Amino acid sequence: MSSSRPVFLYDTTLRDGTQGEGISFSLIDKLRIAEKLAGFGMHYIEGGWPGSNPKDLAFFAEAAKLDLGTTKLAAFGSTRRAGIKASEDPQIAQLLEAGTPVVTIFGKSWKLQVDKVLGVPHAENLAMIRESVAHLKSNDREVFYDAEHFFDGYKDDADFALATLAAAAEGGADALVLCDTNGGTMPDEVAAITAEVEKRFPSKVGIHTHNDCGMGAANALAAIRAGAIQVQGTMNGYGERTGNCNLTTVIPCLQLKMDLPVVPDASRLREVSLFVDELANCQPDIRAPFVGSTAFAHKGGMHVNAVAKIAAAYEHIDPASVGNSQNILVSELSGRSNILLKAEELGLKIEKNDPAVLRVLEKIKRLESEGFEFEAADASLELLIRKELGAHSPLFELQGYHCSFRRDASGESTDCCATVTVLDGGRSVEKTAAGDGPVNALDAALRSALGELHPWISGISLSDYKVRIVDGGRGTAARTRVHILSREGKDSWGTVGVSDNIIEASWMALVDSLEFRAARR
């Protein structure tokens, strides 16, 4: 699809996105995200509802000091209350006091909502829409009207739903945004209804979808194909219930698939996605289209062999075009091509017929049969390959470790200590440390033992620790797999250990973490 018509991006992460369970931003977070989205090229950023809470009021005051370039900030609210003038409604006044160039208001487009929720005559509902838009326009604002529950309303009574849009248009609305508020409409319905609305209100239609049927992005794209010129959504699909239309999916689809340029540089998409996840304190969705860490991951031997010859064999776009990269996974399903490409990725020279390739492959398959899993343990995998190729020098030599755990007579307080003895730099070092548990104590003791000769270790933190039983049928004798995620600055890496003893499995993952970082220094 190629068209000269523009499509405008409207981001509502800071308002609609925060309605998602577990999503909350501080004032500083909101300001930082606004700057990031503006730098990425977002056309509109909805900052919040100034009448709903003090934080949003403060946001608009502080956001006025930001340089957002050509990006326009929008304040969000509702139509006036029933029975009063728009000029006398305190909520409308707060929208104007926010000082944004754009104001977006929502109103009711479904008779069910008007009759059962608002409880006002239909004529009053239309007047509320028309007069609210007109009052905002008279104050020199660009005004977008969000037609809440529009698709449900249209299917219930098309004439009534269209009348609400006509009221907004009569008030001077710059865009009429069709909202699939319940997220239950299918793409073919969205396309057909949007096309009908576009005929009546050409070049004024926007789309706002939710993801309750997993169709948020598909419905938005269907509406754009049918003539919509504005798409509303959130970064990473944050939002109430199952979320909103995910802009990290819609943006590359528009720009790379439909030939509708919407941002100056789509290769920054993954960077922005991860930035927002970080401030939201959310673990990134590894399977997210385009930006997920597995979006261009290849595991099966035949697939890897193919992409080694031509990436397009199993990649629909160049990963770099959205700021991502190809990721060759190594597992029990791997073939020689996986090992060769992974070694090349690590900067290790190895020939196709080198016996070491087969040794690595056989060892990985044996270890995975014993419970190891390397897909989320990139650092342990790299160490394994380096060791088999003779390209690894140990950071230290372990002489022994011991953990002890004691509970006092009250049964309330506990004391956990670990002692680690290592040979480091030709000398034996023994250190003891206390911790919140055996793994924390072991980690502290090991760092203490190595810290004098390797001060960089203090900059490494353990950011995640996961335990999984590999063979639960053995009960308390089951083997345990431990995954550790370590971090230094912006870099992170995963390691794995497996043993009948959870302490031993944890120790293996802890050691791999430090060994890996030492090899990369």
Confidence band (pLDDT; 50, 70, 90) for 208?
A: very high
b/e map 460-482, b = 16+ CB within 10 Å: beeeebeeeebeeeeeeeebbbb
* Poorest-pLDDT segment among 30-44, 95-109, 311-325, 414-428: 311-325
Confidence band (pLDDT; 50, 70, 90) for 491?
A: confident
pLDDT at 225 over 90: yes
pLDDT at 309 over 70: no
Using one digit for the tens of pLDDT, what is the confidence trace for 212-222? 999 999 999 99
Token pair recorded at residue 172? 């001077």
Per-residue model confidence (pLDDT) at position 314: 65
Using one digit for the tens of pLDDT, what is the confidence trace for 420-468? 999 988 889 999 999 888 888 999 999 899 988 899 999 998 888 888 8
Average pLDDT of the residues in 463-480: 71
Share above pLDDT 90 across residues of the chain, in percent, rounded to a whole number: 57
Using one digit for the tens of pLDDT, what is the confidence trace for 157-204? 999 999 999 999 999 999 999 999 999 999 999 999 999 999 999 999
Residue 10 C-alpha from the chain's centroid? 18
Per-residue model confidence (pLDDT) at position 328: 60
3-state secondary structure of 242: coil
Per-residue model confidence (pLDDT) at position 327: 63
Using one digit for the tens of pLDDT, what is the confidence trace for 57-81? 899 999 999 999 999 999 999 999 9
Q: How do beta strands 480-488 and 491-499 pair? A: antiparallel
pLDDT at 302 over 70: no
Using one digit for the tens of pLDDT, what is the confidence trace for 237-275? 999 999 999 999 999 999 999 999 999 999 999 999 988
Helix axes 269-280, 27-40, angle to 10 degrees: 170
Q: Which of 88-102, 355-369, 435-449 has the highest mean pLDDT?
A: 88-102
**Contact assessment for residue 107 and residue 179, using Cβ atoms and an 8 Å cutoff:** no
Per-residue model confidence (pLDDT) at position 475: 54
Per-residue model confidence (pLDDT) at position 43: 98
Averaged pLDDT of the chain: 88
Per-residue model confidence (pLDDT) at position 183: 96
Angstrom distances, CA of residue 11 to CA of 40, 45, 74, 132, 232:
12, 5, 10, 23, 6
pLDDT at 329 over 60: no
Average pLDDT of the residues in 487-513: 89
Using one digit for the tens of pLDDT, what is the confidence trace for 46-57? 999 997 788 888
430 φ/ψ sector (left φ>0, alpha ψ -120 to 50, else beta)? beta
Per-residue model confidence (pLDDT) at position 335: 60
Better-scored residue on pLDDT, 127 or 469? 127
In order of their start, the domains of the chain are 8-264 (3.20.20.70), 297-388 (no CATH), 397-520 (3.30.160.270)
Helices (H) and strands (E) in the chain, counts: 17, 16
Average pLDDT of the residues in 144-157: 97
pLDDT at 286 over 70: yes
Angstrom distances, CA of residue 72 to CA of 25, 103, 173, 203, 279:
20, 10, 16, 19, 22
- Distance, CA of 77 to CA of 219 (rounded, Å): 24
Confidence band (pLDDT; 50, 70, 90) for 493?
A: confident
Q: Which of 247-251, 279-283, 308-312 has the highest mean pLDDT?
A: 247-251
- Distance, CA of 149 to CA of 178 (rounded, Å): 8
**Contact assessment for residue 37 and residue 13, using Cβ atoms and an 8 Å cutoff:** yes
